[in-house]
Amino acid sequence: MPTENAALLRPRDRDALRTELRKVAAAGIVPVVFGGEVQDRTLHLGEFVGTVTDGLRGLAVRERSGLGGRVVEQKNPIVVNDYRRDHTITHHYDRPVLAEGLRSVLAVPVVVQGRSRAVMYAAVRDETPLGDRLTDVMMQAGRRLANEIAIRDEVDRRVHLLDAAAADRSVHSAADTEEIRDVHAELRSLAQTVDDPELQERLRTLSGRLASVGSADRSRPTPAVTLSPREVDVLSHAALGCSNVVIAERLSVKPETVKSYLRSAMSKLDAHSRREAVVAARRLGLLP
């Protein structure tokens, strides 16, 4: 179970699902898209675009039941071109589906670490076959959402580590300190892979908390030096001994850009080398 800190940090996955469904709807290929999260192997439908009834809202689809339940179990996209007569699925949910007038339906699972975490549907109200373009759009949306959820899962894992470190205020061993520094650098890298500004800022906030936990002196006042997020990103990797080329690869920037951020950070910290800059940043509690 996620800790309280993790629950506060993690934006709702349902919001990310809603965003992807709206992107699919904006493509204008089908009139109806909807979906829901999977919890305890049960799909809970909660997001809808283009529906005219409330029959599907809040529906709990059990694993192996109906189209969605089959997708949850098999973890593969499934399309039915005539929902009413299809013999490959159970028909436990015919009443709300047919009341909505849905006929051709495509369901795509969002699979993270081998587990179905959500299902996205696209549908039309006639028996028109759903083409490759829709499948491509839905698969891309599913991959984006799976990546977003995977990143959020990783954030939760890091929060657990942070909570464990915070619970033990004893002096860290050298191995513990290196692990914290490595995690800090990974969090800074993760922040560059997400499009959600809120999640990106929270990742950076979490890395700042980790820097405080990894610091030997937690009573120091707020540092007078202010580094930009990118400058901290670069220094966090420099602290691990990474070369400019490696830092550039991890942060998806050019080596020249890394040099520029290093020079700027060194100037602010009144340091003459990257090592001096790292030491100064740690002294100020900007790095673990």
For 112-165, what is each residue's pLDDT tens digit? 999 999 999 999 999 888 999 999 999 999 999 999 898 888 877 777 766 666
Q: Architecture of domain 182-283 in CATH?
A: Orthogonal Bundle (1.10)
Task: Check if the beta carbon of residue 71 is closer than 8 Å to that of residue 23.
Answer: no
Query: How high is the pLDDT of residue 4?
Result: 47
CATH ID of 4-150, from 2.60.40.10, 3.40.50.10320, 3.30.450.40, 3.40.1350.10: 3.30.450.40
pTM of the complete model beyond 0.85: no
Residue 85: DSSP 8-state:
G
Q: What is the mean pLDDT of residues 45-52?
A: 96
Query: How high is the pLDDT of residue 145?
Result: 95
Rounded to whole angstroms, how far apart are CA atoms 217 and 258?
29
Rounded to whole angstroms, how far apart are CA atoms 136 and 108?
11
Query: How high is the pLDDT of residue 53?
Result: 95
Query: How high is the pLDDT of residue 59?
Result: 96
Please check the confidence at residue 105 and state whether its pLDDT lies above 90: yes
Which tens digit of pLDDT belongs to each residue from 68-80?
Answer: 999 999 999 999 9
How much of the chain, in percent, has pLDDT values that exceed 90?
A: 52
Query: How high is the pLDDT of residue 12?
Result: 83
Query: How high is the pLDDT of residue 98?
Result: 95
**How would residue 1 be classed by pLDDT, with cut points 50, 70 and 90?**
very low
Q: What is the mean pLDDT of residues 254-282?
A: 90
Residues 6+ apart with CB under 8 A from 194: 148, 151, 200, 203
Which tens digit of pLDDT belongs to each residue from 176-220?
Answer: 677 777 777 878 877 777 777 777 787 877 777 777 665 545 455
What average pLDDT does the structure give for the chain? 85
Name the token pair of 33: 């898209």
| CATH 3.30.450.40 domain position(s) in the chain | 4-150
- Of 60-64, 107-111, 171-175, where does mean pLDDT reach its minimum? 171-175
Residue 50: DSSP 8-state:
S
Please check the confidence at residue 175 and state whether its pLDDT lies above 70: no
Q: In terms of Cα–Cα distance, which of 104, 103, 119, 112 is closest to 35? A: 119
Task: Check if the beta carbon of residue 111 is closer than 8 Å to that of residue 75.
Answer: yes
Distance of CA 231 to the CA centre of its chain: 23
Task: Check if the beta carbon of residue 196 is closer than 8 Å to that of residue 148.
Answer: yes
How much of the chain, in percent, has pLDDT values that exceed 70?
A: 86
Query: How high is the pLDDT of residue 215?
Result: 54
Query: How high is the pLDDT of residue 163?
Result: 65
Rounded to whole angstroms, how far apart are CA atoms 216 and 219?
9
Query: How high is the pLDDT of residue 116?
Result: 97
Q: Tell me the pairing of strands 115-124 and 78-80.
A: unpaired
Rounded to whole angstroms, how far apart are CA atoms 235 and 87?
59
Name the token pair of 286: 């900007």
